Amino acid sequence: MPARLTIWGCRGSVATPGPETVTYGGNTSCVEVALADGAVLVLDAGTGIRPLGIELLARGARRIHLLLTHLHLDHLEGLRFFAPLWDERVTLDVWGPRSPVLSLRDRILRSFQPPLFPIDFRDVPARVTFHDVPREPWTLEGVSVAAALVLHPGPTVGFRVETGTASVAYLPDHEPALAGIGDRPPDWISGGMLALDADLLLHDAQYFEDEYAARIGWGHSSVRHAVAFSRAVGARQLVLFHHEPNHSDQVLERLEDHARALVGEDAPAPAPALARERMVFELP
Amino acid sequence: MQRQKHLVLILAREFASNLATPTLVADHEGRLVFYNEAAEAVVGRRFAETGEIDIEEWLTPFSPRDEDSMPLTPEHRPTRIALDERRAAHSRYRVTSADGLEREIEVTAFPLFAHADEFVGIVAIFWRT
């Protein structure tokens, strides 16, 4: 099934609007996978989901699946401003990681109450259903989706979406280096089987190596680790995701150069690329 | 396609690989999926040579036996208890290690639950007494 993937937000941790971030964008994580029949999968609900929501309503989208990697604010904060949520014609299925304590619904609804928000979730007009991600791959709107817990503080999953002819792995918040990358087979690497031989890998590359050294255990990767992970799983294209809020466009371009140097000139094309808002990938 | 190892097992392996105490990790089906370098020294074989095998198959050559030198049946071994009954267990028994010496060891095994209804494996730690 052909599909189109669009990045609506790729900034990590906190939205960073301003003149220094206009090229790659300041919205936090949100990726759309639009399917040929009009159905839509949305990966994460960072602030990038706000403009996406406006676009989806304009397109007449009525069936939407929102797949949440985890509930840190930068992946959830846009949901309350997602226009389809406020349209009674929309059916929204929200999928996210299980927690040993509270249900997915209860955890998300915390952000729909005072003092964080003035409107109670009971007043949301869209038909919303919450689902824990299944342990085995499942089918959504004709595409296969797999989720697995990955290394990041708190219950966090990565996703793999297979259209039948193309595969995408989405691991926006991920620190696989904590449990080893290079010396392990893919099934022993956090998120390894999700990303194995993926045509497109959107992976956390928040830090330069010296920045990472001061932030070990925070749940994010250095660009070196992102390249090592991509190589270990045999991904065809690495897209550097979850940009550090303090990195301007200029700094990000240095990070991309560094990633390309790490990969080396003899590596198969295409070279690693920075994620940027409105970047589109056609999935055949 | 190989299955992704559960994150809890990946973390348990990383934990074990940094311990100086002989430690092994088995999955929910009782397959030994990792033992550390300290365990390799006791076993006399590297994990890379052993591969993933049934944990009972791995333990049998050591002839586990009780303090009266009677064979210790699998259901009395902490590893089996942790796997079958999904509870922590600890006991002292005798084994014959790879160097042919009889050793008295203590074993602690405990189950790993990712969620209350999701049992993913066990960790067993072998203490030399």
| A193 close contact with B: CB closer than 8 A | yes
* Chain B residues whose beta carbon lies within 8 Å of the beta carbon of residue A191: 4
**How far is A167 from A145, CA to CA, in rounded Å?**
10
Q: Do B14 and A178 touch (CB under 8 A)?
A: yes
Taking each helix axis as running N to C, give the angle between helix A223-233 and helix A249-263, from 0 to 180 degrees, rounded to the nearest 10: 40
Q: Return the CATH number at A30.
A: 3.60.15.10
What is the pLDDT confidence band of residue B38, given thresholds at 50, 70 and 90?
A: very high
Q: Looking at residue B74, what is its pLDDT?
A: 87
* Chain A residues whose beta carbon lies within 8 Å of the beta carbon of residue B8: 149
Strand ranges for chain A from DSSP E: 3-9, 30-35, 40-43, 63-67, 91-96, 127-132, 138-140, 143-149, 157-162, 167-171, 200-204, 238-241, 273-274, 280-283
B10/chain A closest Cα distance in angstroms = 6
Domain span at residue A24 reads 3-283
Q: Do B1 and A196 touch (CB under 8 A)?
A: yes
Give A22-64 pLDDT, tens digit per residue. 999 999 999 999 998 889 999 999 999 999 999 999 999 999 9
What is the pLDDT confidence band of residue B1, given thresholds at 50, 70 and 90?
A: low
Q: Which CATH architecture has domain B7-128?
A: 2-Layer Sandwich (3.30)
**How far is A132 from A134, CA to CA, in rounded Å?**
6
Greater confidence (A284 vs A214) lies with: A214
Greater confidence (A264 vs A107) lies with: A107
* Chain A residues whose beta carbon lies within 8 Å of the beta carbon of residue B114: 149
**How far is B72 from B94, CA to CA, in rounded Å?**
9
Greater confidence (B49 vs B122) lies with: B122
| A274 close contact with B: CB closer than 8 A | no
Q: Do A150 and B7 touch (CB under 8 A)?
A: yes
Running DSSP on this structure, what letter comes out for residue B109? Answer: E
Distances from the Cα of A38 to the Cα of A58, A65, A157, B24, B69, angstroms? 12, 12, 26, 50, 71
Q: Looking at residue A177, what is its pLDDT?
A: 96
| A148 close contact with B: CB closer than 8 A | yes
Whether the per-residue pLDDT at B129 is higher than 80: the answer is no
Q: Looking at residue A49, what is its pLDDT?
A: 98
Closest residue on chain A to B120 (Cα) = A135
Whether the per-residue pLDDT at B57 is higher than 90: the answer is no
Q: What is the mean pLDDT of residues A237-257?
A: 98
CB-nearest to B7 from A98, A180, A190 is A190
Q: What is the mean pLDDT of residues A170-184?
A: 94
Q: Which phi-psi region, left, alpha or beta, contains residue A274 (left: φ > 0; alpha: ψ -120 to 50)? A: beta
Give CA torsion, residues A272, A275, A281, B3, to 10 deg: 70
Residue with the two structure tokens 């940027």: A276
Q: What is the mean pLDDT of residues B79-93?
A: 96
| A18 close contact with B: CB closer than 8 A | no
Give A127-148 pLDDT, tens digit per residue. 999 999 999 999 999 999 999 9
Q: What is the mean pLDDT of residues B43-50?
A: 84
Q: Do A188 and B1 touch (CB under 8 A)?
A: no
Q: Looking at residue A161, what is its pLDDT?
A: 98
* Chain B residues whose beta carbon lies within 8 Å of the beta carbon of residue A190: 7, 10
Distances from the Cα of A278 to the Cα of A37, A55, A116, A194, A281, angstroms? 21, 12, 29, 24, 10
Q: Do A149 and B1 touch (CB under 8 A)?
A: no
* Angle, alpha carbons A64-A69-A72 (nearest 5°): 110
A100/chain B closest Cα distance in angstroms = 6
Distances from the Cα of B86 to the Cα of A149, A233, B34, angstroms? 22, 33, 19
Question: What tokens does A195 get?
Answer: 């990303």
What is the pLDDT confidence band of residue A126, given thresholds at 50, 70 and 90?
A: very high
Give the distance from CA A22 to its chain's centroid.
Answer: 20
Domain count, chain A: 1
Q: Where are the domains of chain B?
A: 7-128
Q: What is the mean pLDDT of residues B67-94?
A: 93
Give A7-16 pLDDT, tens digit per residue. 999 999 999 9
Average pLDDT of chain A?
Answer: 96
- Kindly give the pairing relationship between strand A127-132 and strand A91-96: parallel
Residue B10 phi/psi, 5-degree rounding, is: -60, -45
* Chain B residues whose beta carbon lies within 8 Å of the beta carbon of residue A134: none
Closest residue on chain A to B14 (Cα) = A179
Q: Looking at residue A14, what is its pLDDT?
A: 98
**How far is B12 from A251, CA to CA, in rounded Å?**
37
Counting every residue written for chain B, the total comes to 129
Which residue blocks in A23-120 are alpha helix, DSSP H? 49-59, 104-109
Q: Looking at residue A25, what is its pLDDT?
A: 98
Average pLDDT of chain B?
Answer: 91
Question: What tokens does A41 get?
Answer: 């999968």
Chain A interface disruption, residue of B1, B2, B6, B7, most A CBs within 10 A: B7
CB-nearest to B5 from A100, A135, A188 is A188
Give the distance from CA B18 to its chain's centroid.
Answer: 16
Strand-pairing partners, residue A52, are: none
Q: Taking the CB of residue B67, how many other CB atoms lie within 10 A of it?
A: 10
